[in-house]
Amino acid sequence: MKILKYITLFLLLIVGKVTAQQLHFSQYFNTPLLVNPANTGFNPDYDYRIGGSYRNQWANVIANPYQTTNLWGDAQLFMNKIESGWAGIGGTIYKDQAGTGNLSTTQGYASIAYHQMIGNSSLLSLGFNAGMVNQQVDASKLIFDNQWNNTSGQFNGSNGEVLDKTNINYFDLHVGVNYAYFLTDKAYFNLGLSAQHLNTPTASFFPVSSGLNQKVPVRYNFFLNANYKIGDLWILNPNMYISESEGSKEVVLGMNAMRNLSDDGTKQLIAGIYYRNKDAIIPMVGYQINDLMFTVNYDVTTSSLSGFNGLQGAYEASIIKRAIYMKGHRGIKCPVMKF
């Protein structure tokens, strides 16, 4: 039945929204402060960096597709003050909006981290995000099941639902730790673990009397990546990301390859392929010129939703600018991987 198809699609979208609301970028490595606050200032060969990502999901399925934006920046501090370590500060803004009811989430965080060399080959980092979250919904545009008229086949009448609020705010806290081990000047690996919503804030549009669980659960993010340089032409970057919250899990794994197009490494071609478990295959391409990098990807749906969206999951684009403001008198305290 046609109505059953629409109900099934609606449920799939709701499930997708629950798992995607907190973080759902295929290029998770290009949203470093969201993934793990210990990434703040973890940019050994540059003083600062700024970046942005945009994602548009299921545009051919719903009239108001999921649109997600992230803007961020970070910088190093005390590079010349601390002998074997440094600090990082930064900030990130994340906005997600979708659906007929314009359900939106806006998050803003300040980030701080400290990075300490352990000997000549290891680096340990600890970081924190602290900020505010705002969620809004336009209840006048929502339609509920009790408005369905079996006789006319139309939605009509009052929905009878009572929302205590349509605009809520809460404080949010994240913590993360990273460890990097530099095998040689041509190979290293890095792993990190973070916990989002460490303070389990209260967030609900419904009144307390509804009996619904109004706590935002802790979400754990784990990533593992490595870099391996082959001659003067290639750098391979296999990596993996796992995010889990209350039984909901996202697993993404794949690899980037950077191809040197110039003698000095100022021009690079980037290509990658990723797989999100039980959801999508994700090809990615990009280009770097000097200290500016562009990357784009397309999610090809492989889940049961592919029958509704014709394999067209999402497209995503990122841009990152890295720079040095302490030219001539800064030191690099750990090995770096570059052409």
In whole angstroms, give the CA distance from residue 159 to residue 140: 9
In whole angstroms, give the CA distance from residue 320 to residue 51: 4
Range of lowest pLDDT (56-60, 181-185, 291-295): 56-60
Which domains does the chain possess?
2-288+296-323 (2.40.160.40)
Most confident of 146-155, 213-222, 265-274: 265-274
Sign, CA torsion 10/98/241/271: positive
What confidence tier does 21 reach under pLDDT thresholds 50, 70, 90? very low
- The contacts of residue 86 (CB under 8 Å, 6+ apart) are 41, 76, 77, 78, 79, 114, 115, 333
Q: Specify the higher pLDDT residue, 167 or 285.
A: 285
- The reported pLDDT for the residue numbered 195 is 96
The helix/strand/coil state of 303 is coil
Percent of the chain with pLDDT over 70: 75
- The reported pLDDT for the residue numbered 8 is 40
Q: Residue 137 is encoded by which pair of tokens?
A: 């919904």
Q: What is the DSSP string of 120-158?
A: TTEEEEEEEEEEEEEEE--GGG---GGGEETTTTEE-S-
Range of lowest pLDDT (20-34, 169-183, 190-204): 20-34
Which H or E element spans position 95?
strand 85-98
**Predicted confidence (pLDDT) at residue 197 exceeds the cutoff of 50:** yes
| Residue 33 contacts residue 40 (beta carbons within 8 Å) | yes
| Residue 273 contacts residue 283 (beta carbons within 8 Å) | yes
Average pLDDT estimate for 145-167:
64
**Helices of type H across 224-328:** 306-309
What confidence tier does 98 reach under pLDDT thresholds 50, 70, 90? confident
Q: How far is CA 25 from CA 22, 35, 299, 300, in A?
A: 10, 10, 10, 14
